[in-house]
Structure formats: structure tokens, C-alpha cells
Amino acid sequence: MVNFILRPDNSGLILASLRRVLPQFFDAPEYVRLKNLGRDLAEIPGLVCAAFARYLCRLLEMEPAEPTLANACFNLIEEWSSHSDPNVQNYVITEIFENVRLPKLGEAYFKQRLGENSRKLFEEWMEYPPEDRMTHE
């Protein structure tokens, strides 16, 4: 049985890659709301990933959609999904994949935009989770 234990992302990878690839995210309402809550919540990778998921969903459902920003988001998801640190992959699964809400476009649209590694991770954890991950002993 595979168990994940959430630990702080000591590498700072999530925030650093967002600053590098998508600096406009830090001005987005999803991140600003998190920052306004105080207590350094805007520095916690899991909370930032959840805000990022809401940001991406808003971008995708906008009319017209902003393809350059959306592509940058999917590239980041692929980068994080390809990372060797299981904590980073866990943030992708629990804070991004599980927070995707696309009432207009649907989950299939999101999945088809994922890269090779992120699609594999999505399928493994969201579509076809092995039974031993679903039971608690």
C-alpha cells in the first residue's frame, strides 16, 4: 500500500516555477485572496496549488480563453508531474487535479490538454486508482 505523508516542499519548486513561468498568477484574484488571509498562507505550496487550479479553471472557461496563459499553466503541471519528488507530485494530485471544476468544458477537456507525464498521473490517481489506495486498514 502506498501512503503519502504531506511534508513542506523544502525545495520551493512550486512558488519558484510559478514566479519564473507565470508571474501574473501572483496578481490573480485567486492568489490575492489567499494572500489577504495572512499568516503566510500564500507561501504554503498546497494552498498555492489549489489557488493555481482555480486560476487555471477560470482561464479555461473565459470567453475568449487566453491560450498563452493556459498553455503556460499546463506546461507547469507537466513540469511538476515529471518531478522526482513525490511531494510535488502529490500537490498536483491532491491540490490541482482534485480541484478542477470546469462546468462548461468538462474534465475530458482538461485531461486532453495535459502532457504525457501529467496525463499518466491523472489517469493513475483520478481515473483508475488501485484498490489498495482506496481502502484504509
Q: Per-residue pLDDT tens for 23-80?
A: 999 999 999 999 999 888 999 999 999 999 999 999 999 877 778 999 999 999 999 9
pLDDT of 2 strictly over 60: no
Compute the average pLDDT of residues 87-105.
Answer: 94
Q: Is 43 in contact with 34 (CB distance < 8 Å)?
A: no
C-alpha cell at 114: 495535459
C-alpha cell at 43: 507561501
Q: What angle is formed at CA 33 by the lines to CA 59 and CA 38, rounded to 5 degrees?
A: 150
pLDDT over 70 (residue 14): yes
Sign of CA dihedral 126, 47, 67, 72: negative
Task: Determine the pLDDT at residue 134.
Answer: 54
User: How far apart are the C-alpha atoms of 88 and 12, rounded to whole Å?
Assistant: 10
Task: Note the pTM of the prediction, 2 decimals.
Answer: 0.85
pLDDT exceeds 90 at position 21? yes
C-alpha cell at 32: 490575492
> What secondary structure letter does DSSP report for 114?
S
- Is residue 62 classed as helix, strand or coil in its secondary structure? coil
For residue 5, CA distances in Å to 2, 10, 55, 81 come to: 10, 14, 26, 17
Q: For residues 128 and 4, which has the higher predicted lDDT (pLDDT)?
A: 128
